[in-house]
Every structure is written in C-alpha cells, then in structure tokens.
Amino acid sequence: MTTSRKPALAAALALGLLASCKTGSGGKTEEPLICEPHAYEACNGNDVYWFDSCDVPQEIEEDCPDDNATCALDFYGVPTCQCIWNWEGEECAECPPNWDPDADCQACLPNWDQAADCLECLGNWDPDQDCLVCLYQWIDEGNDCGTCPEHWDAAQDCAVCEGNWDPEQDCSACLNQWIDEGNDCGTCPDNWDPAQDCAECLGNWDPEQACLACLNQWIDEGDDCGTCPGNWDPETGCAECLPGWSGDDCDVECIRFVDHDAPASGDGLGWDTAARVLQDGIDLADDASVDFNGGCDVWVAEGTYYIYRGDIDNRVHVPSDVQLYGGFDGTETSFDERDPVVNETVLDGRQYAGGSYRVRHVVVLQNGAGIDGFVVTGGRADGLDGEGETGNSRGGGVLVADSDGIRIANCRFFDNEAYGVGGGVYFAESSGTIENCEFTGNWSLDGGGALSAFSSEVVISRSSFAGNSTDGDGGAIMSWYGYDEAGSIASCTFSGNTAEGAGGAISLVFAYPELRNCTIYENEAGEPGGGLWVGVELSPTSMYVENAIIWGNTPDEMATDDMEKCFVTYSDVPGEFAGEGNFYNDPLFVDPDGGDLHLSVGSPAIDAANGLVAPELDLDGNARVDDPATDNTGLGPPWADMGAYEFQP
C-alpha cells in the first residue's frame, strides 16, 4: 500500500517561507513568524501526516491500518504506509501462503518450515496434505514424521519395502514366494526363480505343485526339469507327443510301409502288410496323421518305383508334414538300420525302364513335407508354363510351390528335364533345405539345369552339382528374386556344368544366397560368368562370396555387372575381385581331371579361409581342422580351408 509523494519540505525551504522575527533599531519587534500549511509529508506515529513549514503536523494524509502496517520511508525517502511482519495486500490483511494469521504472520502454520519461508514442510510431513499428514508411510512421534515403520525403507523415503517384503501387505509379509530368515525376505526357496522376483519356477518346475514337481512330462536331471523324455515334444511344453507319435507314453510311432514287391491291398502298418503302390502308402500316412499330431513317416523298401501310370500328370504327391524315406531293405525295425547307398530306392518318372513316356513332375512337396534317401530321375516338365503346381514346364524332378519347411536330403537327381526352369528341382515362393544331395545330368531350357529358385529361401549344403546344363542361365543353379533372403549355398562343388547364357555353374539375379566354402571348377558359359554370374546392378542389396575356390572356368571365373555390390573375401578368385584374404593361384586339387577336387599337400587354400564363418562340416562330413604343417594365413581360430573339402593331415 505504498504511496509516492513529492518532498514538499524541500520545496518550502527553497521558497524561503520560513521567516524569523526582526528587531529594529528602536527595540521595536518585527512582524510575527508565518507558517505555510501543507509544506511537506512525514510520518507521525503509524500514519502519514501533512506538516506545515514550522514542522507542525496538521492533518492525516494516509491512515495506515492500526495493527498490520506502519509509516516508513520507501526506497526514495518518501513516507508511505508499509505492511509489517509478513502481512500483504492493499489493507495488509493477507498472510502469504502457509503463514499463520493468528500469529500476526510472524510464524508458519503448523509443520511448515519457517527457515524455508514456509514453502516446505518440516521433516516428512506431506506438502500435498498441507503438512497435516505424514508423507508415504512415515509416522509422527513428535519428531515431524521422522519414524519409518518396521520393514519400510527409510533410504527410499519410506515409500517402498526393504528387501522383498510385500507393500500390498504393508511390508508385514514376504512378497510372492520369498521367505524371511532375518534377511528381509531374502531367501527364495528351492526351484523358485529369484530373477523373476521369486514369482515363477525355475526351468520347467510346476508352480501348481509349489515348484516341487516337474511340469507335464518334463523330468529333472539336475537341469531344473529341462529334459523332455522319449517322444514327447518340448515345443508343446512336453505336454504332447512329437509329430508322428501317439499313445499315453508317446511310444506309438506313425509309420506306414511301402514295398513294390508286397501283395496288393496291404494296410501299410508293417513290412509284412506293406502297401505296394507308393502313393497308397503316402495317403495312408496322411490319413493317420490326424491321430498322430501330423508328421507321419513313410518307409520305402529298395527298388524302382515307376511313376507314370498312363498320365503324364501322375506324380508322387507328398502332402503337408509327411516325410518320405527310402533306403530300406524291407526288414528294418529301427530307422538307424537303413542304408540308402546299399538299398537304392529309385523314383522313376517313366512307365518302365527305357520307356518313352515321362511324368511332368516326379515328386510334388507341400508344406513341411520331405524326401530323404531317394534317386529321382525321369521327370520331364514339358507342359505350358503357369503358376504353382500348374507350372508344368518347371521342376521335372521335384516341384515345390507356395510351401515352407521343405526338406530334401540324401538324394540323387539325374536325367530330369524342364522346358522352363529347374530341370531337377524348382522352388517357387517357398522355403526349404537341400542337404547331402547329388545333381548330375539334369537339363532345362530356360535356366537352372539342376535347380531353380524364384523368390524363395533355399538353404543348400554339402551337395555336388556336376554335368548339368541349360540353354539359358545357370548350368547348375539359377536363382532370381529374393534378394538377401535367398538362403545359402555352403560346402558344395560345381564342376562340368554348362550354360549357353551367363553363369556356367550359378546365375544369381536379384537373389543373393550366402556363398561359402564352395568349389567351382571347369564350368562353361556362353556369356560372362563361366563359374558364377551375379546380376546385382539394379539391386538394393549386395552379394557376398566367402572361402570359395573359383578356378578353371570358361570364359572367365566369375563376373558381375556391379563390382561395388559384389564382395568376395578369403577366396581363390581373379585379381579384379579385390578383397581381404583373396589370391588367385592354382588350388592344387588331388585329381581334377578325374573329378577329385580335394586339396593336395601344399595347396595355398589350406588354412587360408575365414574360419569364423566357415560351415562346421565340409562336403565329406568332416569337421574343420588346423593343418600343423601349414601356416595359418586365413582368419581364425578356428582355422579352415577354402573350398568344399577340408584337407585332412
């Protein structure tokens, strides 16, 4: 309530209004003193008064509130009414927040801290409760809420429990399954998981059994019930049988048997009652899959099974999750007894040996299906092109369309043809694996004499491709589209394959499988890329070749339309493919003219690869080994050789 005024007293003095009485020469008294009214303002008691020029107060200029204000000079020396203590407002009738009006604004309200200008609570009183209630779990024992009850953590502002006491139980009981042994509920009982706040069992112990018994069919072998026994399926929490098994103990296996020498009308339940016709046995397995959680197997006895039965669209149709195994002599009781090499099992697309009629696809595989241990021959995909299974010019040996989880292993493909692409095998918008297979003498018109993949992710390992041909690109393999999700090619050999187009062995366009530890030797192309052609110029991704031997191909070893997107490392390749660990020297094969592409003593490829990315096994199934007689010039450990074969010291 401060009011500004001019210093009237100074003005009065300047005018010389103060006069004194003068005494004349005759002792005569001069005129009396005249005092000018309202000469200046000044404090008089608690109020502001006007004074005359003779310093006599005359009237109140400003009446200050009696109790809460007083007259005082402001910063400029002007007398004004000013609030006392901490009063504020026009009439000095208001206390600031949290000051006590009953104490003349000279003290804070209860439990507020005057040292903090009454803006903070004392101790642990709660400001959100006007300092009338203790904060969190603090209690007041005349110590400004300075007592934190038992098991509450004063270091955490008494807001959380100490150790593992349960806040929902007011820290009076342990949380979850913790127990207190004088350590603030710090003991998690056996088989409960402290990393999960002692709320869940370790491993596969059963929480409904207080983690004292294993869940479902799991058993404990010192691994927290980590062993799923027998034919129980760990993917189902060891609660269901593996695909292909049933029974209370998952000890009944779903197998159907096929033997071309068996009597007609067999039920396929054993060798003695085996189905004679291969497709009949497969259909029996498919029907039984309903009761066996899918995934029934078909065991096929040795011999030749002719697929053509009066219609070129006949084929071996392997439905979803059925696995077809060859290589049995027809007496085995254990899978481990089979021998696909001795008991050769042939799927022949002709009607008989030397027959001129051939089926368009010897085998068609659907989701999760597989073939293992067969010779596949005699397919001729010569029909009109199309999509999926109607692609009758694709996949003379095996056709895979719009299917995932396909498995092809331990098979040999020869003398299959396609008047489109993929003489031996064709993948279309699918995924799968090919392991330990041989491709020889297969042909296609448009590309991929042995194998072709379109927009597919195919993992090829430990396989050989020899003597395949095409009038298009990729004498052995042609893969297009799929980019960096095109799978991989590892521990494979390519020799004697030919293409009238690019890529005598392999042609890759917009599909770039990882190429590791492959040997590509003496393949021939009519265009660039005698061994390998990589069309990457317009691709958003790149191609990577590692640990390869690319040698003796015609007209060149490998070629690409964009060197900046083709990365080659730790490989025996021409000098224009500059990369870490590369060189271009004779790999010194044991007998290249005789087809033996193993490394001989002194080969520069020994221990010269990047062992950190090399496949665990070579084409022969041997593990990587460090040759003590050879300096390690590659990257490791582990140390590995370039190419498909690991030198065995």
Q: Supply the mean pLDDT for the chain.
A: 90
Between CA 425 and CA 434, with CA 430 as vertex, the angle to 5 degrees is 45
pLDDT at 300: 98
Question: In the predicted model, what is the mean pLDDT of residues 270-285?
Answer: 96
pLDDT of 390 > 50? The answer is no
pLDDT of 21 > 80? The answer is no
Q: How far apart are CA 225 and CA 231, in angstroms?
A: 16
Q: Does the model's pTM come out above 0.75?
A: no
Pull the structure tokens for residue 148: 């934190």
pLDDT at 69: 84
Question: In the predicted model, what is the mean pLDDT of residues 565-587?
Answer: 94
pLDDT at 470: 98
Question: In the predicted model, what is the mean pLDDT of residues 493-519?
Answer: 96
CA dihedral (634, 638, 642, 644) in degrees, to 10, reads 180
pLDDT tens per residue across span 124-166? 999 999 999 999 999 999 999 999 999 999 999 999 999 999 9
Question: In the predicted model, what is the mean pLDDT of residues 485-505?
Answer: 96
Q: Which distant-in-sequence residues (6+ apart) come within 8 Å of 486 by Cβ?
A: 453, 456, 457, 458, 479, 508, 511, 512, 513
pLDDT tier for residue 260 given thresholds of 50, 70 and 90: very high
pLDDT of 7 > 50? The answer is no
pLDDT of 556 > 50? The answer is yes
Give the position of tokens 């000044």: 42
Beta strand 412-414 with 375-377: parallel, antiparallel or unpaired? Answer: parallel
Q: For 487-521, what is the HEC assignment? A: EEEECCEEECCEECCCCCCEEEEEECCEEECCEEE
pLDDT tier for residue 29 given thresholds of 50, 70 and 90: low
Q: Name the residue type at position 467.
A: G
Higher pLDDT, 36 or 584: 584
pLDDT at 67: 77
Q: Give me the phi and psi of 635, to 5 degrees please.
A: -120, 125
Pull the structure tokens for residue 133: 């209630």
**Closest of 599, 420, 408, 583 to residue 493, by C-alpha:** 599
Q: What percent of the chain has pLDDT over 70?
A: 94
Higher pLDDT, 62 or 351: 351
Higher pLDDT, 47 or 321: 321
pLDDT of 612 > 50? The answer is yes
For residue 164, the number of C-alpha atoms closer than 13 Å in the C-beta half-sphere is 20
Among the ranges given (285-294, 349-358, 445-454), the one the predictor scored with the smallest mean pLDDT: 285-294
Q: How far apart are CA 523 and CA 466, in angstroms?
A: 9
pLDDT of 13 > 50? The answer is no
Q: What percent of the chain has pLDDT over 90?
A: 74
pLDDT tier for residue 28 given thresholds of 50, 70 and 90: low
Cβ atoms of residues 422 and 445 within 8 Å: no
**Closest of 462, 461, 431, 467 to residue 449, by C-alpha:** 467
pLDDT at 112: 94
Question: In the predicted model, what is the mean pLDDT of residues 88-92?
Answer: 84
pLDDT tier for residue 519 given thresholds of 50, 70 and 90: very high
pLDDT of 4 > 70? The answer is no
**Closest of 233, 230, 201 to residue 214, by C-alpha:** 201
pLDDT tier for residue 385 given thresholds of 50, 70 and 90: low
The runs of H, that is alpha helices, within 391-430 are none
pLDDT at 161: 94
pLDDT of 79 > 70? The answer is yes
